[in-house]
A = this chain, B = another copy of it.
Amino acid sequence: MKLVQKRSKKTGLPPGTLVHIGEKKSDKVTITTFHYADGYCEERQLDQPDLLAPPTDESVVWANVGGVHRMDVLESFGKQFGLHALLLEDIANTDQRPKLDDYETYFFLVTKMLTLTERQDVLVEQVSLVLGRNFVLSFQENGTDVFQPVRERLRGGKGRLRQSGADYLFHALIDAIVDHYFAVLEMVGEKIESLQQLVVSDPKPETLREIHALKRQLLFLRRAVWPLRDVMNNLSRSDCPFLQHATKVFFRDVYDHVVQIVDTIETLREMVSASLDIYLSSVSYRLNTVMRVLTVITTIFMPLSFIASIYGMNFEHMPELRSEWGYPMVLGVMAAVGIAMLVVFRNKRWL
């Protein structure tokens, strides 16, 4: 997750100019289409979007595009479905904030998909969705397969998916994306829980680094999810004619999920901040204990050495030096002073 994406190559170009912004992870672009109605479902893999069959009044077309770096593909979709040049530009630019644009004859939704790799890293991928009266277009930055369950439900024909219109499919895709957020949150939550053990038992500079990495990750999560709240709220209250009333309750359901996710992110952020505080006071407490113990040791030996140095003086007239019991008595005094100091320091709990 880079802090700021390279966008400067677009500087000076007129708006609507198609330029891919982001990292190109593979060269291929995959296009999968579903053409379905109640009791009917045709699935195809296309090379060219031109070959796409147009939807009829009763059927729905869903085209899923994996990869947004081939401008000819985007332009071809634009021509076929009458999409605005700015919309195509936004699809090609993977550094978008989640948003919902109402282009009157279709909705345009940009969102971020969060998935976990096998090594528990968070992958962020931009997904753009276009909802028309009887078609849905989905553009994925890399083509990670989170829509598999939706495809299965379409193929199987069970549930209400095939009976419902394009708006319900639109909801199903968003729901599939939002569902994956929970997995990311669970992973982050577990990391924080284990961190909270660590900052008390064994605070190390690496722990600090981990805390800050988590903080940064949560910042990115929040940035990806926060605007989605308004987007889903608008969808569930929109009075657009091709969003059916019965579907809106499902958008409200997704809205509830997003609010829940935002809430959890805020809680996790407070937890990470608390971990940081505990880390700092834990480190400082440990160091202070060490320094105190060391200083106590030094302090105990100071008067003992002083006594010894007194009897190391070379005065001729020092009657103690000649006394037979001088040495053992001085040793005794030293032991007494040392033990007394130990007792005092221990009583004051300085040791």
Do residues B314 and A327 form an inter-chain contact, with CB atoms below 8 A? no
* In the assembled complex, A301 has its CB within 8 A of some CB on chain B: yes
Query: Within the assembled complex, what's the spacing in Å between the Cα atoms of A180 and B10?
Result: 10
A271 to chain B, nearest CB (A): 6
Quick one: closest B residue to A158, CB to CB?
B14
Residues of chain B contacted by A118 (CB below 8 angstroms): none
| CB-CB nearest in chain B for A209 | B200
A348 to chain B, nearest CB (A): 8
B292 and A290 within 8 A (CB): yes
- Are A12 and B188 in contact, CB atoms less than 8 angstroms apart? no
Number of residues of chain A lying within 8 A (CB) of chain B = 115
A6 touches B294 (CB 8 A): no
A348 to B293, CA, bound (A): 12
The answer on a CB contact under 8 Å between A295 and B295 is: yes
- A297, B299: Cβ atoms closer than 8 Å: yes
Copies of this chain held together in the complex: 5
Q: Is there an interface contact between A292 and B287, defined as CB atoms closer than 8 Å?
A: yes
Q: A336 interface residue, CB < 8 Å from B?
A: no
Interface segment, A36-44, A69-77, A91-99?
Answer: A91-99
Cβ–Cβ < 8 Å partners of A101 in chain B: 252
11 A-B residue pairings within 8 Å (CB atoms): A2-B193, A3-B192, A8-B183, A10-B182, A12-B148, A14-B161, A284-B284, A301-B305, A305-B306, A313-B330, A317-B323
Binding site for B on A (CB under 8 A): 2-4, 6-8, 10-15, 84, 86, 90, 95-97, 99, 101, 103, 148-149, 153, 159, 161, 171-172, 175-176, 179-180, 182-183, 185-186, 188-190, 192-193, 200, 205, 208-209, 212, 215-216, 219-220, 223, 249-250, 252-253, 256, 259-260, 263-264, 267-268, 270-271, 274, 276-278, 280-285, 287-288, 290-292, 294-299, 301-306, 308-318, 320-327, 330-331, 334, 348, 350
> A12-B149, A15-B253 known; 15 other A-B pairs, CB under 8 Å?
A4-B188, A4-B264, A11-B182, A12-B179, A86-B250, A101-B252, A223-B263, A284-B284, A290-B348, A295-B298, A297-B299, A308-B310, A310-B334, A316-B321, A318-B327
